[in-house]
Amino acid sequence: MFDGVHLGHQFVLRHVAQTACERGLASMAITFDAPADSRKPILTPLDEKLTLLQTTGIDRVEVLTFNEALRLMTAREFMQQVLRDRLGVHILLTGYDNRFGHNREEGFEDYVRYGRELGIEVLQLPAEGEVSSSLIRNHITAGRVAEAARSLGHPYTVAGRVEHGEHIGTRLGFPTANIEPACRQQLLPAPGVYAVRVLIGNVEFGGMMNIGSRPTFGIHEQTLEVNLFHFEDNLYGSQLTVAFVARLRNEHRFDSAESLKAQLHADALQAAKVLDMKI
């Protein structure tokens, strides 16, 4: 899946590009789209994944639709029908723990044997550190966005569209953009307040984001609200991308709007310090 395109994936992809160059071949990364009915949250929506893969030096990225026919293929059928016949693979490099085929019952030695029969050289790469998509999901779920970034090799991001909210932040002196994520399957960080960098078009702004249900005002629906520093324009309908830098605190209920306002001022100062900027 290359979910996250993390440091372990990048290690594999560098070796694919290097091996292709040494053999006079084109390099290709083969990945899958996430089934629309999948209950497992993803780290990277497909468009972001393609962008990240294209920065690794790979010549071509092939996206396979994970439908029922593909799911039921054995490893040998997949190697013959998809890798050899459809995609023209000459050399297959897999991660140290990569398994494929229906029920994933076979392993590397089986792939090597099938490869000999089909004319595909199969190579296995060693492990590269203790990085996995599962580890990164655990970090994100717990709000450990800085740790997730170290495993990804880049900040964790969520893209979305600015929608109308209830303007609570404006009344408190901290106007916020209410974001509707573009990908409903994407994993969101734990509720809390974060220091973030926000990309609008080609311009980046610093800010702070709250993920939560605004318990001070008795609201229970989860929202994603970002306050941008040094920004006063209208954002409604805009597309933006939020990069999570650090978690500042948990979300909790305040006794009054004034108490919350004082905390937001402290949050803004802390976020600015984390982002190394003035507000």
Query: Domain ends where: 75, 106, 124?
Result: 124
Residues 71 and 16 in one domain: yes
Residues 245 and 205 in one domain: yes
User: pLDDT value at position 190?
Assistant: 96
pLDDT band at 217 (very low <50, low <70, confident <90, very high): low
Mean pLDDT of 231-252: 91
Q: How far is CA 103 from CA 63, 133, 225, in A?
A: 21, 20, 42
Residues 160 and 227 in one domain: yes
pTM confidence score: 0.88
Mean pLDDT of 42-67: 93
Q: How far apart are CA 263 and CA 251, in angstroms?
A: 11
User: pLDDT value at position 77?
Assistant: 95
Residue pair 244/186 in contact by the 8 Å Cβ criterion = no
Residue 161 in any domain: the answer is: yes
The per-residue pLDDT for range 78-88, each reduced to its tens digit, is 999 999 999 99
Residues 158 and 242 in one domain: yes
pLDDT band at 219 (very low <50, low <70, confident <90, very high): low
Residues 100 and 172 in one domain: no
Q: Say which CATH number the domain at 104 has.
A: 3.40.50.620
Mean pLDDT of the chain: 90
Residues 164 and 234 in one domain: yes
Residue 167 sits in which domain range?
154-275
The per-residue pLDDT for range 131-171, each reduced to its tens digit, is 899 999 999 999 999 999 999 999 999 999 998 766 565 56
Residues 100 and 179 in one domain: no
Query: Domain ends where: 73, 103, 124?
Result: 124
Number of domain units in the chain: 2
Q: Say which CATH number the domain at 171 has.
A: 2.40.30.30
Q: Which amino acid, one-letter code, is at 177?
A: A
Asked whether the predicted pLDDT for residue 199 surpasses 90, the reply is yes
Residue 204 in any domain: the answer is: yes
Residues 166 and 232 in one domain: yes
Residue pair 251/192 in contact by the 8 Å Cβ criterion = yes
Residue 137 in any domain: the answer is: no
Residue 166 in any domain: the answer is: yes
Residues 244 and 166 in one domain: yes
Query: Domain ends where: 124, 145, 178?
Result: 124
pLDDT band at 97 (very low <50, low <70, confident <90, very high): confident
Residue pair 94/108 in contact by the 8 Å Cβ criterion = yes
